[in-house]
Structure 1
Amino acid sequence: MWTSKALALLLAAAPIEAAFSWSSVKTGGGGGFIPGIVFHPKTKGVAYARADIGGIYRLNSDDSWTPISDGIAQDSTWHNWGSDALAVDPQNADVVYAALGMYTNSWDPNNGAIAKSTDQGSTWTFSNLTFKVGGNMPGRGTGERLAVDPANSNIVYYGARSGHGLWKSTDGGVTFSNVTSFKNTGTYREDPSDSTGYESDIMGLLFVTFDSTSSTISGATSRIFVGVADNTTASVYVSTDAGSTWSALAGQPGTFFPHKCKLQPTEKALYLTYSDGIGPYDGTNGAVWRYDLTTSTWTNITPVSGSNLYFGFGGLGVDMLKPGYLVVAALNSWWPNAQIFRSNDSGTTWSPIWEWTSYPSMNQYYGLSTPNAPWINTGFWEVTNDEPLGWMIEALEIDPFNSDHWLYGTGLTIMGGHDLTSWDSAHNVSISTLANGIEEMAVESLASVPGGSELLVAVGDDSGFTYASSSSLGTAPASNWMAPEFTTSTSVDYAGLAVADIVRSGNSAGTQQLGVSSNGGSTWSIDYGASTTAYGGTVAYSASGDTVLWSTASQGVMRSQYTNSFTSISALPATALIASDKQNDNYFYAAYASTFYVSSNNGQTFATGGSLSGASQINYVIAHPTTAGKVYVSTNAGIYASTNFGSSFTLLTSALTNVYEIALGVGSGSTWYLYAFGTGPDGNRLYGSADNGNTWTDLQGSQSFGSIASCKLAGSGNVAGQVYVGTNGRGVFYAKGTITGGSTSGTSSTSASSTSTSHATTLTTITTSTTTTGSTATTTTHTSTAATTTSTCTVGQYYQCGGSGYTGCTNCASGYTCVAQNPYYSQCI
């Protein structure tokens, strides 16, 4: 049995009055996979969306979204930004439930929880589970796995993964017990041979759907349907006695997995979508079925057949105001576009949202716009005509109070519109991106350039963004980083004496994975000195911008001057940390394990620098933006500083230990603030210091950043007291305030929209990648454990080594094996 600890949302470990007020840097487009959207069935305007790694959001009346889980994913509870299911209470519009957790395998050491809010997400209580929840696992788009009895608000069902079966609460989510009469806990494993447990875990239960038209027994709805990932015996089960007994639903389709099951109460019918894959990436066959509750008969209403059926079905929207009207979506039609079908006669006939005329010409019965995120047009739709309608479409809903209003989730954003019924008359609809307020990106690197671009953001899946000034932080960029456009940009750096010069690295082998800019990141060009086999890792630009040092993921540490070909730096271990002195072109710095390295000849050679007595692991290295030779190093023992180009170091303070990423930013007067993620007097949090680390102040308060080991950090080079935090799933946060000694006066920046707001990790390094444009779960500490130089084409732990269309290195470093995560991505495990 689970028992609720009744933990309030506002249980901050640090004094709130000491913290800054945080806002989101705006992209306006989401940026990752939205697997679930839920409308309240009886109260107009209440709806929620869940992201796989970026938390939960509530819909606003202006089509924007408000994050409602930002306070519940602290360092020790980072997995709470993963959400595997949502449910609303049909009798109370203020109540919302969520199944929280990130992974069911060893990547997440934490058991999951069922969270409940009675005020639409302002505060939460938790019923802790005795097993894990997989918000970023395969099959996360099925469901919803949570459901509240429409006749009894005290009854809540949850269908678990991993063979844990069906669970029930009879006290409004305070406690849950296993429904032992429900025997089939699922048999399907996506890849039983996967040693990581990511694809070899039992998929379990897929959805819980109540029949609100059925009678009640002792105040509970009598008929309940549950979906199971079992394609060998039966996948849909029914109870007609309020959950006391269960049986396989007679006459049901076989072979495929059910993804969605929706009731149309006026018709007294269930609609179900099926796919031969569990999603969200796979599926090459599938079906749509209608089940008549009155006659207990099944009807195959699949919109297409034969060669036109090359995908499974996921998203399903049923119109509650117009019986017989519905839309369904291809789960994955990877080329040339997603496909959505509309029926106004209960699935007897269908019309598509596009169709071929004479190949390659087609009729497109829609118009597209992205006013909230123009970079989606320039970075995706204009680059290729493939998939403008999206991919990985599992969430698809019609507003129960407005037949024209519909929303659907993709691997990139939320889309939809307000003229769905025009499909029935003009056979044309207007579709927009509608994810304003959702910020669901895994941030790989941040930089703020003194005298230059205010913020450079390297991200997974969406390349990256440039914000020229602080005033632009609340405006969605016109373009992401393009020409070259890397799927994932892993690092970005600037030249301290030539601040318009920027360099960035990408993570997709097969083309040159370095981009350079001479105008602060407004436009880019390819660095042709890079080979097509080197990728990933981190970059450092020399002070004058003539030399790039690149600690690659595939070929060790390399150097190039004047855009010439890169040569290997044999003195440095592979994956070493690197940094450049920002004022002296001769100096680069590096670190590996507990050893610090210095180059005084522009990176040509490196020698061992000063020792860091008491530290056994260096986590990050930064150079002072305006003072030559001043270097800071974060370690497991605290922060060390050097004023003589790394020849010797001094431990700044013992107040912070186990320090991860650090940053410097302009402070009040002539001071520079020092920022650090580490273990301090208020726990594992973000701290700031105005006196070079002598005293520290908690800047975080109740704001969640997820695991501090995976956070990225930058202090503003231009705005006093402004600091940026890049998260592993919730984009970039920023705040502005004054740090004085050991206390803080925090003020929020006024340039961000008040409604602006997608894996994470413990202290070990993990990476889970999805598709090239879905939401990527990337977690990195800044450490390495094996000093292996790479002379052949091999890649390190957690980097890509295969997948459809992949042309990079397929050999993993010693000790690791290339394991398929999905048809499009394999990684070294």
Structure 2
Amino acid sequence: MFGPKLLTPGTTSGLLPEVLSPESFTTQTCKIWFTHAPILEAYIAAPMAAQTGRLFLTRSIGATGVTPVSSRLLSWDPNNGAILKSTDQGNTWTVAPLPFKVGGNMPGRGNGERLAVDPNNSNIIYYGATGDASGTFGLWKSTNGGSSWSQVNSFTAVGDWVENPNDANGYLTAKQGIWWVTFDPRTVVGGVTQNIYVGVATKNAPRIYRSTDGGSNWSALGGQPLTECGGTGIIPTKAAIEPVSGTMYVSYGMASGPYDDEKGEVWKYNISSAAWTNINPLVNDCQPPGGGNIFFGFNGLSVSKSNPNVIMVTGHSSWWPDTYIFRSTNGGATWTNIWHWTRYPSIAYEIVYPHDITMSPWLKFPAAPVCSGSGGGRPGPVENPKIGWMTAALAIDPFNTNNFLYGTGATLYGTSDANLWDDASTSTPFHISVKGNGIEETSVTDLAVPPSGPKLLSGVGDIRGFYHSNVTTVPSTQYQVLTSTNSLDFAQGVPAKVVRAGNGDSSNCEKSFAYSTDGGQTWKMVGGQPTGVTGSNNDSVAMSADGTRVIWAPNGTTAAYTSTNWTAASPTWTAITGLPAQAKVRADRVTANKFYGFASGVFYVSTNGTSFSATVSSGLPITAKLVTVYNKANDIWLVSPDPTTGGVWHSTNGGASFTKLTSVSLADGVGFGAPATGQPYPAIYLAGQVGSTRGFYRSVDGGASWSQINDSNHNWYYSGFVITGDPNQYGRVYIATNGRGIIYGDGP
């Protein structure tokens, strides 16, 4: 075992769909838990004091330890979802398979909670399923603590809301199904809660249903709001029952979120009188502060357990000028926002709190380029760092109303002095700071370890990537350009030269290719790029060993391209002959102008960087990753995770022929580090399956034998993007995960 650690940034850098603070947990056990997209769709803790430590999770699309599917392949995982259960506060887990898929990174992932434990009987659990283009999967129930599940056939409501039925990729065509389940804990008979409420994603029927007999029968809740400010219908995104007053609070929006929503509302329902009251936080019910239309929906609903008059809710889909967070101390009669307009529309808004990002300084996003002559858009600049965006998750501490946490599209924030927000007589501001230390959700797409300069260069989805000067200090900033990095490379002989390909923000005139001349510390966008380039997950980039040429296989084009003047104001990109578009490309780490390519089971070689020839067209997998070895000319490795045709192939003659390793049945990634003492070949690090065991391995004898370097408790979900050693330090390994950040370890 290599003693794995979480590499900085080490703080959440992805959407947090839910923040939960279990009422029965003490600070000595487990007070706060989170769900992380895209790994998990739902999380809940059994709220009974007698069941402290019982946790439940749903595992989403992509969650498979047998046949993980890279998001770069633009494929859906064929496996169904599952409910994960722990009875020891998350130390160990059991899995109950579901007969359908669940989607932790799908539209509507911030709504709910879909997974709900009966507060009076933790053996009874409900799960509101999503659907697909053909239908929804309904309401599901377990009566044995999550070990097995069956559909509640008496619940017939259909959550048929679809974000975009015309989406060509299918991502937005899934029916949203059931968004939330909540219990009235006062209504207990025979140890089972009787009154249960379910929120359904639809605009064609009632949205909220209730059972008064423990889930046997269901009916639509009377008088519920169905339309919003001049629109076509609102959908309940979250609900919370306050048992002292017997009130159910419900937040609404018009769409799934978390990216887009509008015309939100907040209502409360008096359970005993069946009366609905609109408690919209906006001064004018259909108009946000400063005027205009309600361009956001509400979510992040939380009611204090220690003071039932304290309620909070977020305008989760508001991006400009910032998200909205509203707080009420009188049950929703009046509200205050976390920021205030000073004038409109000149985007002068007053922040009423100090905003501490010391723990994650990279949250101060680099300034975006200015589009020449683009016109339109919102005036600026906006506050940086922002309060957040996609703020679907918020929780008030059940033990202390002064504390709350909320999740954003970038991190977890919180405060412990919200009483200063509530106190209108004081001018002392409350404080918000990053609370995400040790929580990681980053999708890491590429890693590189140059022979000099940084300890590591990382490519990351959504937050560009980082120059890691060491592994224990949080980087002060992200890369300056490209929203996401899909591929990066440096010149082995001139490591100050680095290039990246990825997704640029076209609204800010960003290109999809960037370069650095100082080892990755600062970046510039390329002055021009080939016609037809579109950002995607398929880009592949390589730089020659001497740093004089780059090859780029961008998405959206009909060819791969090469350039020798990519730093010029108007660079020349020449179409490469003999190499398919979107092929994977790598440079030989020793021989200048020698490059390799791979696509659809065929291996290609170029000795001039402008034309390629196929060398091997049989016996190789259809899809594979291509890796070349530092300081070794003509040394190439191919790895494939295909369960039937996968494995590892090695060439030492520049791709003229390959030998398949018989000891490895499939592999997600391979990388190289400093050799062991007395060994001529670099240490090899592998994410794959040796024999019958999936895991992470090291070989110090060129792949002849393998030693596993992890155990069954350290698989990090899915790590099929990249694994690499450190050529400067024997025993060091870096593992790029899709949802757990960068793991590193040091071994003997």
Question: Same fold by TM (over 0.5)?
Answer: yes
> Which amino acid in 2 is paired with 1:27?
P
Deviation at 1:633, TM superposition (A): 3.4
Partner Cα distance (2:744, 2:311) in 1:
42
Query: Structure 1: how far apart are the matches of 2:120 and 2:597?
Result: 64
Corresponding residue to 1:559 among 562, 574, 590? 562
| Corresponding residue number in structure 2 for 1:627 | 632
Cα offset, 1:110, TM superposition? 1.7
**2:17–2:393 Cα contact (<8 Å) kept:** yes
Is this contact kept in 1: 2:625–2:669, CA < 8 A?
Answer: yes
Partner of 2:747, secondary structure, is strand
CA distance in 2, matches of 1:445, 1:515: 15
Amino acid at match of 2:52: A
2:369 pairs with 1:369 = no
Kindly provide the amino acid, as one letter, of the partner of residue 562 in structure 2: R
Letter in structure 2 aligned against 1:695? S
Separation in structure 1 between the aligned mates of residue 140 and residue 647 of structure 2, nearest angstrom: 45
User: What is residue 21 of structure 1 aligned with on the other side?
Assistant: 3
| TM-aligned CA distance change 1:49 to 1:618, over 3 Å | closer
Aligned partner of residue 465 in structure 1, secondary structure:
strand
Give the aligned partner of residue 88 of structure 1: 46
Greater shift in the superposed pair: 536-545 or 372-381: 372-381
Distance 2:692 2:26 in 1: 42
Any conservation in 2 of the 1:223–1:239 contact (CA below 8 Å)? Answer: yes
Asked whether 1:269 is paired with 2:269, we answer no
User: How much does 1:650 deviate?
Assistant: 4.4
What residue identity is the alignment partner of 2:715? S
Could you say if the C-alpha distance between residues 455 and 270 of structure 1 is closer, same or farther in structure 2, counting changes exceeding 3 Å? Answer: same
Look up the match of 2:612.
606
**Equivalent-residue separation in structure 2 for 1:583 and 1:103 (angstroms):** 37
> Structure 1 residues 279, 693: CA separation in 2 closer, same or farther (over 3 Å shift)?
same
The answer for the alignment partner of 1:586 in structure 2 is 593
Q: Give, in whole Å, the separation in 2 of the partners of 1:169 and 1:633.
A: 45
Aligned to 2:66: none
TM-aligned CA deviation for residue 207 of structure 1? 1.2
Partner of 1:423: 421
1:20 touches 1:735 (CA, 8 Å); kept in 2?
Answer: yes
CA distance in 2, matches of 1:151, 1:598: 66
For residue 93 of structure 2, the aligned residue among 99, 124, 146 is 124
Residue deviations 1:104-152, cap 9 Å, x none?
9981322222221111110112222222222222211111112222222
Structure 1: any 5+ residue segments left out of the alignment? 1-18, 54-80, 739-829
Kept in 1, the 8 Å contact 2:482–2:511? The answer is: no
TM-superposition CA deviations, 1:338-363 (whole Å, max 9, x none): 11111111111111122222232222
Q: Structure 1 residues 106, 452: CA separation in 2 closer, same or farther (over 3 Å shift)?
A: closer
| Structure 1 equivalent of residue 690 of structure 2 | 680
Cα distance change on mapping 1:560 and 1:413 into 2, 3 Å: same
1:29-87 C-alpha deviation (Å, 9 max, x unpaired):
3110100111111333322100112xxxxxxxxxxxxxxxxxxxxxxxxxxx3323424
SS at match of 2:122: coil
Residue from 661, 664, 669 that aligns with 1:656:
664
Contact 2:365 2:384 in 1 (8 A): no
The one-letter code matched in structure 2 to 1:43 is: F
Matched with 2:527 is 528
Shift of 1:491: 0.9
- Residue 217 to residue 188, structure 1, CA distance change in 2 (3 Å): same
User: Which residues in structure 2 correspond to 1:692-703 (within 5 Å)?
Assistant: 692-702=702-712, 703=714
Q: Is the 8 A contact 1:580 1:589 kept in 2?
A: yes
* Residues 651, 659 of structure 2: 8 Å contact kept: no
CA–CA separation in structure 2 for the residues paired with 1:240 and 1:637: 54
C-alpha spacing 1:613/1:385, structure 2 compared with 1 (3 Å): same
Question: 1:290 Cα shift?
Answer: 1.0
1:252 maps to what in 2? 224
- Residues 633 and 108 (structure 1), Cα distance of their counterparts in 2 relative to 1, 3 Å cut: closer
Aligned to 2:732: 722
Structure 1 residue 401 and structure 2 residue 399: aligned?
yes
**Aligned equivalents of 1:656, 1:28: Cα separation in 2:** 32
C-alpha deviation, 1:695, in angstroms: 1.6
Paired residue type of 1:528? G
Which deviates more from structure 2 when the two are superposed, residues 238-247 or residues 120-129?
238-247
Residue in structure 2 matching 1:289, options 244, 263, 267: 267
1:94 match: secondary structure: coil
Q: Which runs of 5+ in 2 are unaligned?
A: 64-73, 227-232, 289-293, 369-379
2:675 partner amino acid: G
Instruction: State yes or no: 1:145 paired with 2:153.
Output: no
**CA distance, structure 2, for counterparts of residue 225 and residue 608 of structure 1:** 62
Check conservation: 1:612, 1:640, Cα contact below 8 A.
Answer: no
Q: 1:658 to 1:177 in 2, by over 3 A?
A: closer
Counterpart secondary structure, 1:562: coil
Partner of 1:227: 199
Amino acid at match of 1:542: S
Task: Kindly state the Cα deviation for residue 336 of structure 1 after the two structures are TM-superposed.
Answer: 0.8
Structure with higher RCO (Cα < 8 A, 6+ apart):
1
Amino acid at match of 2:18: G
Label 1:135 to 1:327 Cα distance change in 2 as closer, same or farther (>3 A): same
CA contact (8 A) 1:84 1:134 kept: no
Q: Distance in 1 between matches of 2:489 and 2:534?
A: 16
Distance 2:120 2:647 in 1: 57
Measured in 2, the distance between the counterparts of 1:270 and 1:213 equals: 13
- Aligned residues of 2:210 and 2:221 also touching (Cα < 8 A): yes
Instruction: Give me the whole-angstrom Cα distance separating, in 1, the residues matched to 2:252 and 2:189.
Output: 31
Q: In structure 2, what residue type is equivalent to 1:290?
A: K
Identity %: 37
Counterpart of 1:412 (choices 410, 413, 420) is 410
Find the aligned partners of 1:330 and 1:523 in 2 and give their Cα distance.
Answer: 35
Instruction: Indicate conservation of the 8 Å contact 1:24/1:732, yes or no.
Output: yes
Q: Give the conservation status (yes or no) of the 8 Å contact 2:579–2:613.
A: no
Q: Which residue does the alignment assign to 2:514?
A: 515
CA RMSD of aligned residues (A): 2.4
SS of the equivalent of 1:291 reads strand
Q: Note if contact 1:511-1:531 (Cα within 8 Å) is conserved in structure 2.
A: no
Q: Tell whether 2:172 aligns with 1:164.
A: no
Quote how far apart the aligned CAs of 1:638 are: 4.3
Q: Is the 8 A contact 2:697 2:708 kept in 1?
A: yes
Equivalent position amino acid for 1:364 in 2: I
CA contact (8 A) 1:337 1:386 kept: no
- Residues in 2 aligned to 1:455 and 1:198: alpha-carbon distance in whole angstroms: 34
Q: Partners of 1:197 and 1:526 in 2: how far apart?
A: 32
Shift of 1:496: 0.9
Shift of 1:204: 1.4
Residue deviations 1:352-400 (CA, integer Å, cap 9, x gap):
1222222322222222111211111254799853781111111111000
- Deviation string 1:454-482 (CA, Å, 9 cap, x unpaired) is 211101100001112xxx21221111111
Answer yes or no: is 1:39 the counterpart of 2:21. yes
In structure 2, what is the Cα distance between the partners aligned to 1:344 and 1:271? Answer: 14
The 5 A counterparts of 1:377-456 are 377-379=364-366, 385=383, 388-425=386-423, 426=426, 428-456=429-457
Query: 1:115 aligns to what SS in structure 2?
Result: strand
- How far apart are 1:489 and its partner, in Å? 1.0
Secondary structure class of the residue paired with 1:375 = helix
Secondary structure of the structure 2 residue equivalent to 1:422: helix
CA distance in 2, matches of 1:587, 1:559: 12
- Whole-Å separation in 1 of the counterparts to 2:381 and 2:740: 26
**Structure 2 letter corresponding to 1:479:** T
Question: Is the Cα contact below 8 Å between 1:325 and 1:342 reproduced in 2?
Answer: yes
Which stretch of structure 1 is more off in the superposition, 694-703 or 273-282? 694-703
Equivalent in 294, 313, 326 of residue 328 of structure 1: 313
